[in-house]
């Protein structure tokens, strides 16, 4: 039996409310393939019967969480798309060190980190490109506690390691652990994993120098993309950098970011705030206007935000 329209609508509405992921008509096959293992765990022959049982049980929180986690896309690989990591090593990190000094400590947020390949790739990149006096810390977040458990362990199969891991990085930063590979302890110590929903306020740990928000905006509608990008902007240091997926951009979404091409990809920086004209001194205003000016509070003028970033 296929997934009924009522069951698909229930799943799609619940997933959208909890994660903002849109499951449009035509994605029934995806729901069935992702939820079939959950149905079989309960001895049910098909997904429709599973969804009917969940609904009949009043939608228990544990069941709803498992459904959302099963439908969250966790596709990932080491150094995925390459260009963001090249930009981090060649342009972003050197610019921050030049601005703040060789002993600076970089803070990076890896959002929607899945099973950890992205934040560990960032850690390897920074470990190799920063001067010995500099240090870094990475906050890696994801909606799914299930994938975070795997990420914290830092253990990967040979098949997973083969997906994008350069041989020099493998030698320097991973160690054999039986049939698997394990991220070196000193590197794992620089990465903290935390459950976080991008629909919520940004996690503690900021402000951040760099935010990786890659291959996740494509699953959201325009209003959600705008809200997430504005929240990211609030926790990014002046002059900080945002890296998106290859199919993602701020252009046409929000207008307070500037795109800087770097190599085959792009880095986004907050637009410098335009300075406001200062009001004339009160002693140059006619007496009647001066009296009115003194009685009206003047608006707060925010400081300009420095935007940096060399072409990549």
293: Cα separation from own chain's centroid: 46
Edge-to-edge strand ranges of the sheet holding 155-156: 155-156, 180-183, 174-177
Q: Is 221 part of the annotated catalytic residue set?
A: no
Q: At what angle do helices 61-71 and 47-56 cross, to 10 degrees?
A: 150
Q: Which of 142, 209, 214, 312 is catalytic?
A: 142
* Token reading at 35: 């939820």
Q: Is 142 part of the annotated catalytic residue set?
A: yes
Q: Which of 34, 80, 188, 233 is catalytic?
A: 34
Q: Where are the beta strands (DSSP E) in the chain?
A: 105-110, 135-142, 155-156, 174-177, 180-183, 191-195, 208-213, 236-244, 257-262, 265-270
**Cβ atoms 80, 164 nearer than 8 A:** yes
Instruction: Tell me how crowded residue 236 is: count the other CB atoms within 10 A of its CB.
Output: 24
Nearest CA to 210 out of 235, 190, 245 is that of: 235
**Cβ atoms 226, 20 nearer than 8 A:** no
In the 8-state DSSP scheme, what is residue 217? G
Annotated catalytic residues are 34, 142
């Amino acid at each position: 039996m296929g997934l009924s329209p009522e069951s698909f609508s229930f799943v799609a509405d619940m997933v959208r409310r909890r994660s903002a992921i849109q499951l449009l008509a035509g994605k029934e096959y995806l729901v069935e393939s992702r939820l079939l293992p959950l149905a079989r765990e309960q001895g049910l022959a098909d997904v429709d019967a599973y969804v009917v049982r969940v609904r009949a049980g009043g939608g228990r929180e544990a069941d709803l969480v498992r459904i959302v986690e099963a439908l969250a896309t966790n596709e990932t690989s080491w150094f995925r798309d390459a260009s963001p990591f090249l930009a981090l090593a060649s342009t972003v990190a050197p610019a921050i060190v030049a601005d703040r000094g060789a002993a600076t400590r970089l803070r990076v947020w890896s959002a929607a980190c899945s099973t950890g390949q992205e934040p560990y790739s960032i850690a390897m990149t920074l470990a190799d490109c920063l001067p010995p006096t500099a240090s870094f810390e990475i906050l890696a977040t994801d909606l799914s506690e299930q994938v975070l458990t795997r990420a914290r362990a830092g253990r990967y199969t040979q098949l997973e390691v083969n997906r994008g891991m350069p041989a020099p990085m493998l030698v320097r930063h991973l160690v054999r652990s039986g049939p698997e590979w394990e991220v070196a302890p000193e590197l794992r110590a620089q990465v903290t994993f935390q459950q976080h929903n991008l629909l919520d306020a940004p996690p503690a740990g900021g402000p951040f120098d760099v935010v990786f928000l890659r291959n996740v905006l494509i699953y959201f509608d325009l209003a959600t993309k705008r809200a997430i990008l504005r929240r990211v902007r609030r926790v990014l240091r002046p002059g900080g950098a945002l890296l998106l997926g290859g199919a993602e951009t701020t252009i046409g979404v929000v207008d307070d970011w500037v795109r800087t091409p770097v190599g085959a990809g792009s880095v986004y920086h907050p637009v410098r705030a335009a300075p406001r004209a200062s009001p004339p001194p009160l002693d140059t205003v006619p007496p009647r206007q001066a009296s009115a000016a003194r009685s009206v509070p003047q608006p707060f003028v925010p400081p300009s935000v420095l935007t940096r970033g060399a072409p990549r």
